[in-house]
Structure 1
């Protein structure tokens, strides 16, 4: 009877890919709702206090200098437009010289997109669409090839360690290596990448803390935001005026960010494989229960 039921409902029972897709969608939606509730409870009060403080300062400044609030807000709107062109209250390095433009295209092809620099001309905006399409695709390919090299290196290391263990152990019948034995598990690759990302982030945070004047916690936060390609733009490295003359720091900054993005992207890939395995286990666990439930319901309807 269960076989007949599975034949009658192939789209519900046999399509595990479809079930996994919808299950992952539901879990991501629930994860986002939980995150929204968490960050709203943490940040909402600070936002309201910042608004109140801003309105107070705006009113005090308007009263002290005898300027209407509307004219002051109009000036601030013009300043917001000027910030897009790279104008800051504190002097900073040039945004569109060759090093600045190279930093910009680096944030484009790596999909970081801090937002502190953006094309202002129509030609530049149109060109960016095609430039980013090709550049992001090539960079993602490079990240995938980087992960393949990491897995190959770990495979050679695992194979070498097992040969050493067999040689140092008691003598026994010679046995050829199985190809599957040479491959590291996804958990081993994830652990290695997690350690590498952690070491790179800690080392980069020390560099940024010294060069940017940030606290170590702020530097670690920047490393995660940059390496994960989230790129909020609240912290951006290498934008101070004196950084224009520190070529060694500019090169180290670009290399550090590229290597960090490579490792973090690879870590995300391996974690996604683990999540997929957990979803498969959850589906295998749920499927017999669902089939039994459908079988009972089908049997009751048949009796009726």
Structure 2
């Protein structure tokens, strides 16, 4: 019953979190949407006024087709260069890497039916394999970056584990954030001419959180220098960055064990479920009519009447106790 109440409380909090986020996004973004719509309508009217021979229907059909082709990742400009092909090997590798890591910028995406079918089966195997691999690597790195240093400093400085874990976690997470978000944002700010530092930092966070909104995609700028090498480096950055994120999650999970409020909120249901399983196993064990002889703990719970032919080594029956010779 307690677990049901806990789950219901989490659902209520999550729904409230969704509604609050939706309200804030609506307040922040709707004014800019109205401004852009008004700007486009003014451009539309000005263009038709300058070109009276062009009908509004033809212009609308042309723009609809051009936007559809653009959504497929194909440029509609005539001065396209060979580096802007969207499905060469390096671009396809970039697509495979961002898809298997569940980032999925959505640019480009498969156009053909065969490509869509292959993408489904490719992701069915590739996504679990990729996430499992990244998680395993992060767990192995946790041993070298968390367990061993904590063991060394605990015995060297004789500091409490709780205090030492918090200090270590703050230092390690700060370093990981520096090399995962803040330093890469400097390079993206330099390589992408139309990205500010805030835009680059936003891209790093959206990518490594596997949200991948697709509003910022590296290497899509026309005239990008060494685009193939650049996209390969971006794929490597995403994989290493996700390992760092998984590592931060592992460190944070270990901190929850020493915080009663957070562990009750985030780990309480799991702990309760494990307690129920232990109680269920203990109840079933108490109904077992016999127990193996090598299990001393279980044997002591079995009554003598359950196995009359078996000698009892855990206690001596008073009726069979030897007489004391005086």
Q: Normalising by the residue count of structure 1, what TM-score does the alignment of the two structures yield?
A: 0.74
Corresponding residue of 1:50 = 36
What are the within-5 Å matches in structure 2 for residues 116-265 of structure 1?
116-153=107-144, 154-166=146-158, 189=169, 192-213=172-193, 214-243=195-224, 245-265=226-246
More helix per residue: 1 or 2? 1
Number of aligned positions between the proteins: 256
Mapped to 2, the partners of 1:125 and 1:27 lie a distance apart of: 37
Contact persistence 2:98–2:104 (CA under 8 A): yes
Corresponding residue of 1:279 = 265
Mapped to 1, the partners of 2:69 and 2:136 lie a distance apart of: 41
Picking from 30, 52, 62, the partner of 2:16 is 30
Mapped to 2, the partners of 1:271 and 1:26 lie a distance apart of: 24
Mapped to 2, the partners of 1:133 and 1:194 lie a distance apart of: 34
Mapped to 1, the partners of 2:247 and 2:6 lie a distance apart of: 22
Q: Which has more radius of gyration? A: 2
Contact persistence 1:194–1:267 (CA under 8 A): no
Corresponding residue of 2:303 = none
Contact persistence 1:206–1:219 (CA under 8 A): yes
Question: Which sits farther off after the overlay, 127-136 or 260-269?
Answer: 260-269
What are the within-5 Å matches in structure 2 for residues 99-118 of structure 1?
99-118=90-109
Corresponding residue of 1:21 = 7
Mapped to 2, the partners of 1:137 and 1:190 lie a distance apart of: 30
Unaligned runs of 5+ in 2: 270-326
The DSSP-based 3-state class of the residue aligned with 1:82 is helix
Corresponding residue of 2:300 = none
CA deviations 1:33-92 (Å, max 9, x no partner) are 111111111111111111111111112112211222222121111012211332235646
The DSSP-based 3-state class of the residue aligned with 2:114 is helix
Corresponding residue of 1:84 = 71
Change (3 A) 1:242 1:52: closer
RCO comparison, higher one (Cα < 8 Å, 6+): 1
Q: CA deviation at 1:140?
A: 1.1
Unaligned runs of 5+ in 1: 1-11, 170-179, 284-304
Corresponding residue of 2:45 = 59
Change (3 A) 1:272 1:25: farther
Picking from 66, 74, 84, the partner of 1:93 is 84
Picking from 40, 43, 49, the partner of 2:26 is 40
Mapped to 2, the partners of 1:259 and 1:164 lie a distance apart of: 32
